Structure 1
Amino acid sequence: MRVDIYIRLAGMMLLQYAVWGAWLPVAARLLGAPVSDGGLGFDGRQVGWILGLGGSIGAICAPFIAGQFADRVFSTERVLAVLLAVGGAIQWTLASQTSFSAWLGLSIAYSIVYMPTLALTNSLALSHLSDAKREFPWVRVWGTIGWIAASWAFPVFFLQTDLKLSAQPPFLIWSEREDVIRLLNNALRFSGGMSIVYAFLCLFLPHTPPKRDAVEKLAFARAARLFRRPSFTLLVIVSLAIAAIHNIYFIQTPNFLPSVGLKTSHIGPAMTVGQFAELLILPTLGLMLTTLGFRAVITLGCLAYAARFAVFGTTSLPLSVIVASQALHGLCYACFFAASYIYVDRIAPADVRHSAQTLIGILILGGGPVVGGYLSGLLSERFSSVTAEEVLVVDYRAMWYTLSWIGLMCAAVITVFFRDESSSDASEAEQ
């Protein structure tokens, strides 16, 4: 891979996930905190709808926005530029909203323009790699760096007043501003500004033209034929469950961590412990896939989810242990999601890989959040109670153990039923 191509792809991944990492770790805290504390006061179901349904609709629309346009009509980098510019404007507008209806509507609008960009950046990068299994992890790792940088930069610039180094996670300590929860909406402005800058820089990405010589008018229709492969169908089913508990992690953790003693301004940095682990795991993913195979690696990702939620459920553990356990996120993301993206790229016909990536994105980023948002609301109601002093108390122990069991069941299904078909002739999927 040429150095100039690598630099541009790395910069793309860095900004792609910085835009996301700036706001997602703190969104649930802003949405669910009481109005008296500076939050918006939404209940568990409303937060689930915003972060679940809001994100999923964009992923469901993605095949028609990303796959069809990028595969057939426009160059990928120009589609990215338009979507990210519009998304930045929506984020900036969303920061000043306080009603549930406005948040839900604008969140849906944002997801429609942002979610397709996740699949597009994957497919654009893979289009310029000669050895995806070996080279993609070294490109994707910059997305992790971008997420970490944004998650730390936001509290440093907006939430703290006296920054000091610390030897323990999250490695920085500071004095929180008194209105720290009210200031969390600035994460949306921070994200929106970066998105607009990123949109301009997309025009300088490697040119990735549409494949107009394809034999079928709708690329998505041919990508859907991947369901003829048993391994793809099984992966899609398991992805739905894993994506659901993955989504619940982002809905519940921002409020769970303060309940066990973490400061609100430490939420974003503390949650990046998992991304630091990604930096170690992703560069070795190619070697893991070569030596262990897709089935073992994907199973390991499922087990990592089970282990992390089991630690979260043991709320009697020290806060430092609970925060440090998020290092398992490196295995969660790399071994399940990144490996799944690579697997889909391996079995998809070359001219519909954009749409194939988007198809798996429907389940990971579309169906998963719908199920996750709904399940999160149910779990919040099932395991919550109100004290005599009208204080809401959540039984996080039962909630996290429930999610841990789901991770274990997914691992068992992959271990028993998944068969690697990546070495088969891709033409089988086209017939």
Structure 2
Amino acid sequence: MVAEPERSERTPAATIGRLGWVFFVIGMSPGFYYPALTNLLTARGLDSHFIQWTWLASPIAALISPVFVGALADNRFSGQKVLGWLSLLSAVLLAIAFRLLDSEVSPIWFLVFQFASAIVGAPQWSMMASLSLFHLRSGEREFPLVRMGGTLGWVAGGLILSFVFHADTSPMAGYLGAGAKVLAGLCAFSLPSTPPLGKSRSLRSLLGIDAFALLKERDHCVFFLVTALLSMPLTAFYMWTPKHLADLGDSHAVATMALGQISEVVAMLLMSLLIRKFRVKTLLVASLSLTALRYGLFAWSGESGLRIGLIAGVTLHGLCYTLYFITAQLFLDRRVEAGLRSQAQGLISLFSNGIGSLVGTFAVRAWYDHTVGAGHGGWASFWGALGGFLFGLTVIFVVAYRGVAASRDQPTAGG
């Protein structure tokens, strides 16, 4: 089994810069086309059913590949090589998908290649988190700074698409996203070598099944289940906030959505302090509470017709995301043995981007059709019910998650 690098106070600046840069280009790719997707498809006359299936690509992909690919990186192949090839292949498939959308063929072919691209590319974020935490000597302080590169990339993608290419509803969004994936793949090969730390060669381990043993521990089980439930209403934010902004007269909805990533940058800068000062449970409860609040702001915008509530809620998104998911990644990295860490990061993706987003995409689209599409309450009812769901989820988490005493294996003052 390969030994982990010795930990000292600081990671060399060059290593931090390289890791941050790869996160930047990985984040830039979805930053180009994710916020534009709903309005782009609407501009082509495609209805909410087709939009739903388009958004199902990521959750279905997250069910299939992150844990399996994480197991390969844990036990068989160098992590940076796995990441590089995944990025390049995903880029080719994404470019083909948007080229087909821009042609006269059936839009079903766009779905086929978009699904293929998503399945191949789904492990990118969890793989990059695992690679970074392997090389960083002080993950609690340095990982938020490195991970901030992904956020800055997402912001850059949205701003470039809106203000440089003026392509909020153009397939150009997908072509730019594919180009960023190519760059990410090439840069991944230049990262420091990340050998597999696991030694198992059993089929069970190579399929990533061993990672599910984490669910036997009570707090882990509560965390993963709440993560899945949280991710259900989160799909509404990505799918329908741009549409709500457009309905209220925002002609640069993609750029407005980037406000969430800008606030995420601020939150990342604060994380090294917060993760040391507060318990894991405190940070997770704060995230859940703020998420419920921002959906309340969205509902107020739906009732009043004023865009300010939406803008405020979008701005809160970055803080909510960082407090929950970055805390979770750091927490699991310290609680899980080295040979399972890539799989543990993949498990977060499976429960959030997979199970939660899959169920949420169906449920949210049906709720949108009932409230906004059919006029039963409109945007106020749409967001209000989701906010109520999140408030209830916060209460459940407070009661069910126990937390543990401080230990050297945890990144905070306690669980």
Query: Normalising by structure 2, what TM-score?
Result: 0.89
Question: For 2:54 and 2:74, how far apart are their aligned partners in 1?
Answer: 30
Question: For 1:350 and 1:68, how far apart are their aligned partners in 2?
Answer: 12
How many Å apart are 1:147 and its aligned residue? 0.6
SS of equivalent residue, structure 1 residue 318: coil
Report if aligned partners of 1:385, 1:394 keep a CA contact under 8 Å in 2: no
Question: For 1:119 and 1:133, how far apart are their aligned partners in 2?
Answer: 17
SS of equivalent residue, structure 2 residue 65: helix
In structure 1, stretches of 5+ residues that fail to align are 34-38, 161-179, 387-391, 427-431
Distance 1:143 1:63, change over 3 A: closer
User: Which range moves more in the overlay, 415-424 or 11-20?
Assistant: 415-424
Report if aligned partners of 1:28, 1:255 keep a CA contact under 8 Å in 2: yes
2:266 is the alignment partner of 1:243: no
Q: Which letter maps to 2:88?
A: A
Out of 290, 299, 304, which is 1:313 matched to?
299
Partner in structure 2 of residue 6 of structure 1 = 16
Partner in structure 1 of residue 395 of structure 2 = 412
Residue correspondence of structure 1 range 95-174 to structure 2 within 5 A: 95-98=98-101, 99-159=106-166
Question: For 1:393 and 1:88, how far apart are their aligned partners in 2?
Answer: 41
How many Å apart are 1:64 and its aligned residue? 5.4
How many Å apart are 1:103 and its aligned residue? 2.8
Report if aligned partners of 2:370, 2:376 keep a CA contact under 8 Å in 1: no
Question: For 1:64 and 1:243, how far apart are their aligned partners in 2?
Answer: 18
In structure 2, stretches of 5+ residues that fail to align are 1-10, 410-415
Out of 298, 321, 326, which is 1:333 matched to?
321
Out of 40, 43, 46, which is 2:44 matched to?
40
Distance 1:354 1:127, change over 3 A: same
Q: Which letter maps to 1:343?
A: F
Q: Which letter maps to 1:229?
A: E
Question: For 2:236 and 2:58, how far apart are their aligned partners in 1?
Answer: 12
How many Å apart are 1:384 and its aligned residue? 3.4
Report if aligned partners of 2:127, 2:342 keep a CA contact under 8 Å in 1: yes
Partner in structure 2 of residue 297 of structure 1 = 283
Report if aligned partners of 1:296, 1:415 keep a CA contact under 8 Å in 2: no
Out of 326, 347, 358, which is 1:359 matched to?
347
Query: Normalising by structure 1, what TM-score?
Result: 0.86
Q: Which letter maps to 2:249?
A: G
Q: Which letter maps to 1:203?
A: F
Distance 1:214 1:422, change over 3 A: farther
How many Å apart are 1:285 and its aligned residue? 1.6
Question: For 2:39 and 2:321, how far apart are their aligned partners in 1?
Answer: 23
Out of 319, 335, 347, which is 2:335 matched to?
347
SS of equivalent residue, structure 2 residue 100: coil
How many Å apart are 1:9 and its aligned residue? 0.6
CA-based RMSD: 2.1
Question: For 2:180 and 2:334, how far apart are their aligned partners in 1?
Answer: 32
Partner in structure 2 of residue 268 of structure 1 = 254
Question: For 2:408 and 2:221, how far apart are their aligned partners in 1?
Answer: 17
The sequence identity of aligned pairs, in percent, is 24
Residue correspondence of structure 1 range 167-316 to structure 2 within 5 A: 181=169, 184-211=170-197, 213-214=199-200, 218=205, 220-263=208-251, 266-315=252-301, 316=304
Number of residues of Structure 1 aligned to a counterpart in Structure 2? 391
Question: For 1:373 and 1:419, how far apart are their aligned partners in 2?
Answer: 30
How many Å apart are 1:197 and its aligned residue? 1.8
Question: For 1:356 and 1:393, how far apart are their aligned partners in 2?
Answer: 41
Report if aligned partners of 1:123, 1:354 keep a CA contact under 8 Å in 2: yes
Question: For 2:297 and 2:196, how far apart are their aligned partners in 1?
Answer: 46
How many Å apart are 1:372 and its aligned residue? 1.5
Question: For 1:244 and 1:255, how far apart are their aligned partners in 2?
Answer: 18
Q: Which letter maps to 1:135?
A: E
Residue correspondence of structure 1 range 23-102 to structure 2 within 5 A: 23-31=33-41, 33=42, 39-51=43-55, 53-63=56-66, 65-98=68-101, 99-102=106-109
Deviations 1:70-93 (A, max 9, x none): 111111111111111111111111
2:359 is the alignment partner of 1:371: yes
Partner in structure 2 of residue 177 of structure 1 = none
Partner in structure 1 of residue 7 of structure 2 = none
Report if aligned partners of 1:311, 1:325 keep a CA contact under 8 Å in 2: yes
Q: Which letter maps to 2:390?
A: G
SS of equivalent residue, structure 2 residue 383: helix
Question: For 1:20 and 1:104, how far apart are their aligned partners in 2?
Answer: 16
User: Which range moves more in the overlay, 277-286 or 357-366?
Assistant: 277-286
